[in-house]
């Protein structure tokens, strides 16, 4: 568990360093990426500008999903870019019903099937970011 947490922190730190040097992307049309875990892996990681992620999960599986991305900010006098944590949304395929995370922020999959993971706020859609999905 501690090794897994350390791995996640290292991944997030390296993603932050990459994003700090990446140019801002304008909000673009929806780009979908398929979540595919490597054999034996408990985490899947994507870095880029995708806006939605599709993955097939088993009933009862618990997911820890984190994402960060660049956001363009401004106050009328100056503009800047900052990396922010994203809000995560996960819904069952065609049903579209959103899952609610538990008090620890984890999502429990109610039934086997294809799920769509997305994020907000709108300010980070289309900008470079990192999505990490882990089974716990």
- For residue 36, what are the contacts with CB-CB under 8 A and spacing of at least 6? 44, 55
Instruction: Give the 3-state DSSP-derived string for 52-95, with helices as H, strands as E and coil as C.
Output: EEEEEECCCCEEEEEEEEEEEEECCCCEEEEEEECEEEEEECCC
Task: Give the three-state DSSP class for 44.
Answer: strand
- Tell me what percent of the residues of the chain surpass a pLDDT of 70: 77
Q: Quick one: pLDDT at residue 41?
A: 97
Quote the pTM value: 0.71
Q: Quick one: pLDDT at residue 30?
A: 66
Question: What is the band of 22 on the pLDDT scale with cuts at 50, 70, 90?
Answer: very low
DSSP state of 16: H
Q: Quick one: pLDDT at residue 76?
A: 85
- Taking residues 13-26, what's their average pLDDT? 38
Question: What is the band of 23 on the pLDDT scale with cuts at 50, 70, 90?
Answer: very low
Q: Where are the domains of the chain?
A: 2-135
| 2-135 CATH, one of 3.60.20.10, 2.60.120.380, 3.40.50.410, 3.40.50.10490 | 2.60.120.380
């Amino acid at each position: 568990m501690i090794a897994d947490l350390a791995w996640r922190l290292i991944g997030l730190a390296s993603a932050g360093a990459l994003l700090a040097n990446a140019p801002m992307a304008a909000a673009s049309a929806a780009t979908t990426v398929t979540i595919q875990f490597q054999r034996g892996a408990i985490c899947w990681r994507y870095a880029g500008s995708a806006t939605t992620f599709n993955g097939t999960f088993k009933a009862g599986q618990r997911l820890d999903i984190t994402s960060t991305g660049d956001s363009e900010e401004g106050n009328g006098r100056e503009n800047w870019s900052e990396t922010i944590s994203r809000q995560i949304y996960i819904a069952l395929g065609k049903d579209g019903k959103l899952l609610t995370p538990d008090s620890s922020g984890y999502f429990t999959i109610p039934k086997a099937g294809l799920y769509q993971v997305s994020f907000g706020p709108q300010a980070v859609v289309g900008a470079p970011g990192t999505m990490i999905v882990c089974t716990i």
